[in-house]
Homo-oligomer: A and B are copies of this chain.
Amino acid sequence: MTRIEVNLEKKPSTSYEIYIGQNILDRMGLVITKKNWASRYIIITDSNVSPLHGDRVQAALKEMGLKVDQIDFPAGEASKNIQTIFSIIHRMIEVGADRTSALIALGGGVVGDITGFVASIYMRGIPYIQVPTTLLAQVDSSIGGKTAIDLPQGKNILGTFHQPKGVFIDLAFLKTLPPREFGNGLAEIVKCGIIDDPELLSLLEKEAEAIRNQDMILLEKIIARTCRIKKGIVEIDEMETGLRRILNFGHTIGHAIEAESGYSISHGEAVSVGMVAAANISDRLKYLPSEDRERIRSLIRMIGLTDRIPPTLSTDGVSSRIKRDKKKEGDIVRFVLLKKIGVPFVNGGVPEALVRETIEALKK
């Protein structure tokens, strides 16, 4: 089991540990008991994860004599809305949750975002614990305290920064993960290699096949490495006012593609082509050497991800969604570009014509 400590502003109150390993639920029960974060725990999970893992997680905590409840909601991004929030809050009030209660987010990114948001606004904030069950949530959304829900007007319009008390990453959960979900996580791992860790990138290139075949020893290694990169960035810039923006590499165009496809293109596919697009723009603007651009594109294909979008996807649609992206500041759309592998920067001056040309090129 690997353990990583996250320090925010060097305050013990907002620092926490990430535990990574195979079959660590019993260890998790021990840690939660020892840390004594709350008088009782409420697991928040969805209709996919609940039948697969709900009972086992409950059992691991009850085994330690902890008081545990569970609240389920329907699986899927469509649940990331205010109705779900209020139905969870009403159930929490019914079971008598108070300021000494804590939540446990058991599931993927949607479960983590929703649980973190509820924990951040319930009685001015109660503790919560992340138990991510997807590869994407394990290397991305479970670390960093970003919480969010969607409104009809857009994704993640409401949200908070609320750090978890602890993150427990059990690789055993990955065995029940659909391939598409696995790809979503892989894209994020590739991203971290590109923006911050050339050695990780080399490892991914060397072991591409073993990773596609979900070699667990190797996965623990690359998950831990990716978590360390993520936590290093989050520590320096908790509130995403500066450095943390580089984590959006591939996401500005990626999010627009994902949304424009009506979410038929997965997050991992969208971020993969988004990274290819950002590398292409970096090359066209004479920042990134062409061989680095090709290396990125080649790894993405090798590892089983995609560098293409369907020709039917509207370039107008993607382009106008980019302009509406919530990360725009004032009237400028900021892109994360590359100077070389491991050296990203934020650029506010990409001509719209180049963005459109780049989107068109993804269709070929």
Q: 1/0 per residue A24-37: CB within 8 Å of B?
A: 00000000000000
Q: Which of A11, A123, A159 has the most CB of B within 10 A?
A: A123
How far, in Å, is A21 (CB) from chain B's closest CB?
31
Contacts of A239 in B (CB 8 A): 13, 124-125
Inter-chain CA distance A154–B89, complex, in Å, is 12
Proximity string of chain A (133-166) to chain B, C-beta cutoff 8 Å, 1 when within and 0 when not: 0000000000000111001011011111100000
Chain B residues near A175 (CB-CB < 8 A): none
**In-complex Cβ contact of A100 among B90, B98, B154, B329 (8 A):** B329
Residues in B neighbouring A90, C-beta threshold 8 A: 153
Given contacts A99-B329, A157-B93, contact A121 B124 (CB under 8 A): no
Copy number in this complex? 2
B329–A98 touching, CB < 8 Å = yes
Of the candidates B158, B161, B326, the one whose C-beta lies within 8 Å of that of A99 is B326
A157 to B, closest residue via Cβ: B123
List, in ascending order, chain B residues with CB within 8 A of A125's CB.
160-161, 239
- State the majority secondary structure of interface residues on A: mixed
What are 29 residue pairs bridging A and B, where the CB atoms are less than 8 Å apart in the complex? Answer: A9-B9, A9-B11, A39-B330, A82-B82, A82-B86, A93-B153, A98-B329, A98-B330, A99-B327, A99-B329, A100-B330, A117-B121, A121-B121, A121-B159, A122-B157, A122-B158, A123-B156, A123-B157, A123-B159, A123-B326, A124-B147, A124-B156, A124-B159, A124-B160, A124-B161, A124-B240, A125-B161, A125-B239, A160-B160
Q: Which 10 A-B pairs have the closest CB atoms?
A: A124-B159, A121-B158, A93-B153, A100-B329, A39-B330, A124-B161, A124-B160, A121-B160, A100-B330, A123-B326
- Which of A's residues lie within 8 Å of B, judged by CB? 9, 11, 13, 39, 82, 86, 89-90, 93, 98-100, 117, 120-125, 146-148, 151, 153-154, 156-161, 239-240, 326-330
